[in-house]
Amino acid sequence: MHWQTNLPLIAILRGITPSEVASHINELLESGFDSIEIPLNSPDWESSIPTAVKIYGDRALIGAGTVLKPEQVEQLADMGSKLIVTPNTQPAVIHRALDFGMTVCAGCTTATEAFNALEAGAQSLKIFPSSALGPDYIKALKAVLPTDVPVFAVGGITPENLGSWLTAGCVGAGLGSDLYRAGQPVSRTKEKAVAFVKAYQEASQ
User: Active-site residues: which are they?
Assistant: 37, 126
β-pair partners for 37: 12, 63
- 195 Cα distance to chain centroid: 18
Rounded CA gap, 86 and 74, in Å?
14
**DSSP character at residue 7:** S
Contacts of 3 (CB under 8 A, 6+ apart): 124, 150, 171, 172
Give me the torsion for CA of 170, 159, 164, 103, rounded to 10°.
-10
Contacts of 15 (CB under 8 A, 6+ apart): 42, 43, 180, 181, 182, 183
Q: Name the helix (H) or strand (E) containing 25.
A: helix 18-31
